[in-house]
Amino acid sequence: MNLHDAPLRDTLTGWRRALHAIPETGFEEAKTSAFVIRVLKALGLEVHTGIGGTGLVANLKVGSGKGTIGLRAEMDALNITELPADRAYASTTPGKMHACGHDGHMSIILGAAQLLSERRDFDGTVRFIFQPAEEHGRGAKAMMEDGLFQRFPVDEIYGLHNMPGMRAGTFATRAGGLMASEDNFVIHVKGRGTHAARPHMGIDPIVIGAQIVLALQTIVSRTLDPSAQAVVSCTEFITDGIRNAIPSNVVIKGDTRSYDPEVQRMLAARMREISEGICRVHGAGCEFSYTHEFAPTVNWAGCVPTAVAAATAVVGAENVNADVAPMMISEDFGAFLQAVPGAFVFLGNGAEGEPGGTPLHNGSYDFNDEVLSTGARYFAEIVRMRLPAQGHTTN
């Protein structure tokens, strides 16, 4: 930890814990955005609100440079009950908490805004983008549909996510696919209910549904090219039956993860064929739906060297992994990367068993305040590298 980081770390910790106490879920981030706006205006930034709902953009222009860099944070929390309710800054909203660290991400971007507004050691424009509704993959699209990049164009955009299980303060990224798409599916098997003692009188959707669940697992193992990546997961199996009655309906829900649009199309087609085919063989009806929730997060090769160089300048080369293995998790940032160049990185929140090591989306999770200033300095370094002031040398 850089000793000069202490005042910045304390400020960011105060912001982070204040945000942690007021969690709000997607498109409801009114208190959250109001807090962010107050901080940004206190820093002297020009703030534009109501973009894609509760989203906002703050601009900081220094000098006459034409370049523009976007830095993004997400604002929403999760419908999860905070388990360590005795934390001094615990959620004040029952059933909601910042269990993914978006409170920390906002504070990091606010910290970068403070550093850059104080030092003014760049030449160009920085846009600080605060996005609503990341958790369900709706906020990025909403902002773009509201003219985000037409009203506030950027040359490049950068983001990060904290990562429990990675040593605190380390960075990881890669060129190309970093995180997968997420598609959701619903399969409704329509059978005919009957008494459990007289199964021959009905069409059992549980047996049919079980066959569908097993058959779906053959798509990845027998249809997908082994060099490609995909996951098919059935996560819910719902019936309208009772103990002594075979139900009439089974609903199977789940999601798929992949990186390639062609793979997404193949998954959807094969899942429909399998589901409808098995139902038809048994004389049951079938309704199948498949929706695209998250785009894959695919880093632009031309932007990753900047992300790696900035991270290296902040924490040293030994703490930066420039070719991390891709993960099958999803992030709404992928939608932005389909529209403009940019790169996304992981920031270590803490190794397993250490502070910050509790998994994401867990009621006991908490953002590690020790890495807040690291993240803020990383983003500030990106700006200085991409929008260099004349005569300025990055340190």
Task: Establish whether 361 is an annotated binding residue.
Answer: yes
Sign of the CA dihedral running 300, 306, 307, 309: positive
Rounded CA-CA distance 367/347 in Å is 11
In the annotation, is 155 catalytic? no
Does an H or E element contain 212, and which? helix 205-218
- Exactly one of 24, 29, 74, 76 is catalytic; name it: 76
Determine the residue type at 91: S
Rounded CA-CA distance 213/274 in Å is 10
In the annotation, is 369 catalytic? no
- Exactly one of 29, 74, 134, 366 is catalytic; name it: 134
Alpha-helix runs per DSSP H in 21-49: 30-42
Question: How would you classify residue 234: left for phi > 0, otherwise alpha for psi between -120 and 50, otherwise beta?
Answer: beta
Secondary structure letter of residue 48 according to DSSP: E
Does an H or E element contain 234, and which? strand 230-239
Distances (CA, A) of 209 to 141, 188, 216: 34, 9, 11
Task: Establish whether 286 is an annotated binding residue.
Answer: no
Residues 55/73, Cβ–Cβ less than 8 Å: no
Rounded CA-CA distance 101/389 in Å is 33
Rounded CA-CA distance 293/43 in Å is 35
| Residue 283 CB coordination number (10 Å) | 10
What residues contact residue 108 under an 8 Å CB cut-off, 6+ apart? 12, 73, 160, 372, 375, 376, 379
Look at residue 308 and give its three-state secondary structure. Answer: helix
Rounded CA-CA distance 154/126 in Å is 8
Task: Establish whether 20 is an annotated binding residue.
Answer: no
Sign of the CA dihedral running 295, 342, 306, 98: negative
Binding residues for Mn(2+): 100, 102, 135, 161, 361
Binding residues: 100, 102, 135, 161, 361
Task: List, by residue number, the catalytic residues.
Answer: 76, 134
